[in-house]
Amino acid sequence: MTSILSDIDSTPLKVLVGASLVVGACKLTTTTLSYLALLFDLFLLPAVDFKKYGSKKGCWALITGASDGIGKEYAKQLAKKGLNIVLVSRTQSKLESLATELEAQYKVQTKVVAFDASVDSPSNYIAIGKAIEGLPVSVLINNVGQSHSIPVPFLETEEKELTDIVTINNLVTLKITQAVVPTIVNSVKTKASSRGLVLTMGSFGGLLPTPYLATYSGSKAFLQSWSNALAGELKSSKVDVELVISYLVTSAMSKIRRSSLSIPTPKVFVASVLKNVGRRCGAQERYATSTPYPIHALMHWWIENTVGVYSKVANTLNLNMHKSIRIRALKKAARNQKKE
């Protein structure tokens, strides 16, 4: 730095160049430390001990969207950790089958609540309240969600699809949280558990504004701000609130069946979530947020620290990708229609 400044005669320029070099050095240092913290979280720290959330102490976890995919895995892995499980989803028969499996395999107690999340009915929340009445619930997993059937321009989005996405992803999630969290707070107060936990499923679709999935993208971005705000409110009550960001996972929603390094199975993904509760992993710049699956975490960190999640570059890439997906989906639908 000294040799550079010595070649500059103007004192103001020296100050400007010196300040720029200091700022650049600080930025490089903070970026490096952030990346090292990401690696430390993902690969060096041991798994989080769920005893603080009441595992093997008679406490309960309530899981929405519990009958399939990621929700079903949350139920299995939390039951394995020793939490009793309240299963909430649409199909009664699937819930009962899973409840029987959990009780037999993990020797836990279960309850089921059949709940159509596309209908914002007061009876749904009353049913949840009755199911958890008197139970030391310590964990809530807000997993229920819906996306578009295929990528679609916002102006062509059907009203029912638009309404269902906002209702399920936002309104129902908020009301379930209002119904359950008072019980979690009480469980902590009565020392049934040391801490409470609220995990809400986010998405890269909410991390990056996503053309052709505009309504879904907006609904998940809403959950980011809401979850962060709730984390601040509940901190003094010893309830940890965290938004979980993921890229694609093999599931009915993603319509992807084959896993890969960047697209894990629900089992692998949920294991990474529960291992890293409370750690930001790739979401270094976000409070009360985690991108826990290693490849997703690296993707999140690099996007944030290169082009930026709100950049024109990221938006354009997302636009082109989802436009291409839409074209292929429409061609496939046309072929299937011809076969019929």
Q: Summarize pLDDT for 214-261 with one digit per residue, the tens.
A: 999 999 999 999 999 999 999 999 999 999 999 999 988 888 989 999
Residues above pLDDT 90, as percent of the chain: 88
End-to-end alpha carbon distance in the chain: 72
User: Does 217 show up as a binding residue in the annotation?
Assistant: no
Strand residues in the chain grouped as ranges (E): 60-64, 84-89, 110-114, 137-142, 196-201, 239-244, 289-290
Q: Look up the CATH superfamily of 48-331.
A: NAD(P)-binding Rossmann-like Domain (3.40.50.720)
pLDDT at 2: 52
Give dist(CA 252, CA 95) in Å, integer. Answer: 17
Give dist(CA 205, CA 214) in Å, integer. Answer: 9
Average pLDDT over residues 9-22: 74
pLDDT above 50 for 5: no
Distance of alpha carbon 25 from the chain centroid: 34
Residue given tokens 């960001």 in the structure block: 245
* Residue 216 known to be catalytic: yes
Residue 104 structure tokens: 């037999």
Give dist(CA 327, CA 108) in Å, integer. Answer: 47
Angle at 274 between CA 289 and CA 242, to 5 degrees: 25
- Per residue in 124-151, pLDDT (tens digit) is 999 999 999 999 999 999 999 999 999 9
Helix 173-189 with 122-132: angle, nearest 10 deg: 20
Residue 36 structure tokens: 């090292």
pLDDT at 9: 57
User: Of 74, 216, 247, 293, which one is the catalytic site residue?
Assistant: 216
